[in-house]
Amino acid sequence: MSMPTIFVSHGAPTLILEDVPARAFLASLGQQVPRPQAIVAVSAHWDTDVPAVSLARKPETIHDFYGFPEELYRLRYSAPGAPALAEKVAKLTGAAHDHRRGLDHGAWVPAMLGWPEADIPIFQLSVQPGQTPAHHIALGRKLAPLREEGVLVMGSGSAIHNLRALVRSGDSSEPEPWAQAFDDWLAETVEKGDEVALADYRTQAPYAREAHPTDEHFLPLHVAFGAAGEGAQGRTLHRSFTLGNLSMASYAFA
């Protein structure tokens, strides 16, 4: 059986410490998909001009955030890397090599929750915010053969990512209408497998500018969609909001 690909919304780094529905969902990732042989994490937090892959044998846990609780900085995810597989991904995609890059929180937060034993090899593939969503769908397509080898392509970003629109009061504010409208459009479009609409979301999605002032947190979804192969359709794994307008929607593609 071919491995599905997934896109997860990883939220704020503090998600791993919180009792919210999105954390409970991410803690179930290991039950949502077959056990992978390895994980290719495509995180919104590794941005490069051209695709790059990490070949570290023992990826360090990168705490790429500031001003958060000390408990977060003590967390370590000690899963091994997969240099040989990363080299294969580099050949499939033409990506550059990075022998030192570890795991940023877009990779280690969902991995730590989903596979806490840290016994599945994991490495990262970067996104290119200067390139289009169509570029990232095409990048994902080059990864499609990995599905037959039991490799999980995990895009990690945010279904909605507008930091200015967050509600930081700590209450359970309902999303504003614009956020709900974009989130509903995304779920419908993903489940249809509408590649044209996903690639052209800037003009086709309602409130696209409000949902994503910049592209980088949405592009991992396009890679995951592309990696599922031609004609892929999505399946909703989870939908919720946190911090008011931050969508935590996650999807599987096959």
pLDDT in tens for each of the 254 residues of the chain?
Answer: 699 999 999 999 999 999 999 999 999 999 999 999 999 999 999 999 999 999 999 999 999 999 999 999 999 999 999 999 999 999 999 999 999 999 999 999 999 999 999 999 999 999 999 999 999 999 999 999 999 999 999 999 999 999 999 987 655 679 999 999 999 999 999 999 999 999 999 999 999 999 999 999 999 999 999 999 999 999 999 999 999 999 999 999 99
CA–CA gap between residue 4 and residue 122 (Å, rounded): 16
Give the CA angle between residues 211, 231, 181 to the nearest 5°: 20
**Cα angle, residue 68 at apex, residues 174 and 117 outer, rounded to 5°:** 90
Q: Residues 6 or more apart from 120 whose CB is under 8 A from it?
A: 35, 36, 37, 38, 39, 79, 111
pLDDT of residue 70: 97
CA distance 62 to 214: 23
Which of 53, 108, 58 has its CA nearest to residue 85?
Answer: 53
Which residues span the domain enclosing 83?
Answer: 5-253
Residue 37's pLDDT is: 98
CATH code for the domain in which residue 70 is found: 3.40.830.10
What pLDDT was estimated at residue 1?
64
Which pLDDT score, from 0 to 100, does residue 168 have? Answer: 73
Model confidence, pTM: 0.97
Q: What is the CA radius of gyration of the chain?
A: 17
Domains contained in the chain, number: 1
Q: Determine the angle formed by the axes of helices 133-141 and 219-227, rounding to 10 degrees.
A: 30
What is the DSSP code (8-state) at residue 13?
A: G
Q: What is the pLDDT of residue 170?
A: 58
What is the reported pLDDT for 171?
56
